[in-house]
Structure 1
Amino acid sequence: MSTVLDQYFEILNWAEHGPSALDGLRDIFAENVVMMHAGEMVQGREPAVDFHRDQAARWKESSHHWTTSVQADGSLTGKWSQAGLDLQGNGCSGSGEVSLALDSDGRISRLHLSLTGGTDRARLLIARHLEVWMITDATARAKAMEEIYTEDITIMEPEDVFVGREAISNYIDVVQRKAPPLSGRLVSHSQNKEFIHWSWSFGFPGNKTALGSEVLHLRGDLIEKIVIFSADSDVFTEGTR
């Protein structure tokens, strides 16, 4: 029997037929859907549809494959993969896990799609980095931090410096409690050897937006230093001190 999760990926597979092919997402997204997608986050039906149009525009052609499992509480989980050609005609792929919750009308109220594998190493590391900041359980977060941050990970904000997984986890607790973003979008990214540069846009209550970028310094497949650049640091640090 087809589930809403199946419908979701079936609609995505029609994306190459044009932006209007994704209009069907409106029928399966709740009005206030919360979507976390490979580390990015948006809230609301129209922002979620626009997000998928933007994602589809980055592929020349692609196809999704997935599995679906129904949990005892009615939520849906699965594994997904996507493969195809980027706009330059290069082969690219991604894969991960997906879970979603439904509202009383059977529409998607919360969708979490993680990126755990793929051809774009920089994008994969950015996704794992952002996922850490979404985890509310301290034990689960500690495990995720071990898989993406070195033990002596350093974060350099415009005003503060945090060193070590424990100090950064404590800071994440403060951010989640006092200044959680309402949205987070990756604008662009590139890699040069052991350095990744990526630009971001975060939205906060009161229609406030913070733009900025980060340089990630890698040690193997782990991040050992994060340097944050932003003229809007007062927006994303407001209330955390």
Structure 2
Amino acid sequence: MKQEAAGRVRRPRPESLDFRPGSTSNRSLRPAVHDETALNELLALFTADATVEIGPEPARGDKAVAALYRAHLADHAEMKHFWKTTVFDDGTLRAEWVCAARKTDGGLITVAGVEHATLDAQGLISHLHNEFTRLPG
């Protein structure tokens, strides 16, 4: 991990998840369910002071964002995400995504949405807002 001037530790971002302006990508993320390395790769996409709006209350800061994703993933035994991401020159990102999952109780769900994100100068997500196009079910 890289140390930043203000004493924060910056997690290295996996090159496979590098966002570049003007790019469009179609990727599936290695599942972070029960895989700490994959979860850390996901969390490395965010700034330390990022705001994530997925549920009813926004998560602000790296500890709250990590807690949000850990709580979400704890309820799933398996999941597979696919998305199409477009990064724009103005530092914003749009990702259309779909997910199929098996919950820890054995139930099956599908869910889909569109995420809108603002990127900082290093290409990390500083703000993410999700709009569900298909609610979990």
Give the structure-2-normalised TM-score: 0.72
Q: 1:90 maps to what in 2?
A: 107
Structure 2: distance between partners of 1:9 and 1:99: 18
Does residue 101 of the first structure (1) align with residue 88 of the second (2)?
no
Q: 1:191 maps to what in 2?
A: none
Does the Cα contact within 8 Å between 2:116 and 2:128 map onto a contact in 1? Answer: yes
Q: Deviations over 1:183-210 (max 9, x none)?
A: xxxxxxxxxxxxxxxxxxxxxxxxxxxx
Shift of 1:105: 2.2
Query: How many residue pairs get matched?
Result: 117
**Runs of 4+ residues deviating >3 angstroms:** 1-6
Match 2:81 to one of 38, 50, 64 = 64
What pairs with 1:1-241 in structure 2 (closer than 5 Å)? 3-4=18-19, 10=29, 13-120=30-137
Q: Secondary structure at the match of 1:104?
A: coil
Structure 2: distance between partners of 1:113 and 1:19: 23
Shift of 1:17: 3.7
Shift of 1:19: 3.9
Aligned alpha-carbon RMSD (Å): 2.5
Highest Rg: 1 or 2? 1
Q: Secondary structure at the match of 2:68?
A: helix
Give the structure-1-normalised TM-score: 0.43
Q: 1:183 maps to what in 2?
A: none
Structure 2: distance between partners of 1:9 and 1:45: 23
Structure 1: distance between partners of 2:37 and 2:70: 9
Report the structure, 1 or 2, having the larger helix content: 1
Instruction: Report 1 or 2 for greater relative contact order, CA contacts < 8 Å, sequence distance ≥ 6.
Output: 2
Structure 1: distance between partners of 2:70 and 2:28: 14
Specify the code of the residue in structure 1 equivalent to 2:59.
Answer: V
Structure 1: distance between partners of 2:73 and 2:112: 16
Q: Deviations over 1:112-131 (max 9, x none)?
A: 122221343xxxxxxxxxxx
- Structure 2 segments unaligned to the other structure (5+ residues): 1-15
Does the Cα contact within 8 Å between 1:83 and 1:93 map onto a contact in 2? Answer: yes
Q: Secondary structure at the match of 2:106?
A: coil
Shift of 1:38: 4.1
Does the Cα contact within 8 Å between 2:52 and 2:127 map onto a contact in 1? Answer: yes
Shift of 1:88: 1.5
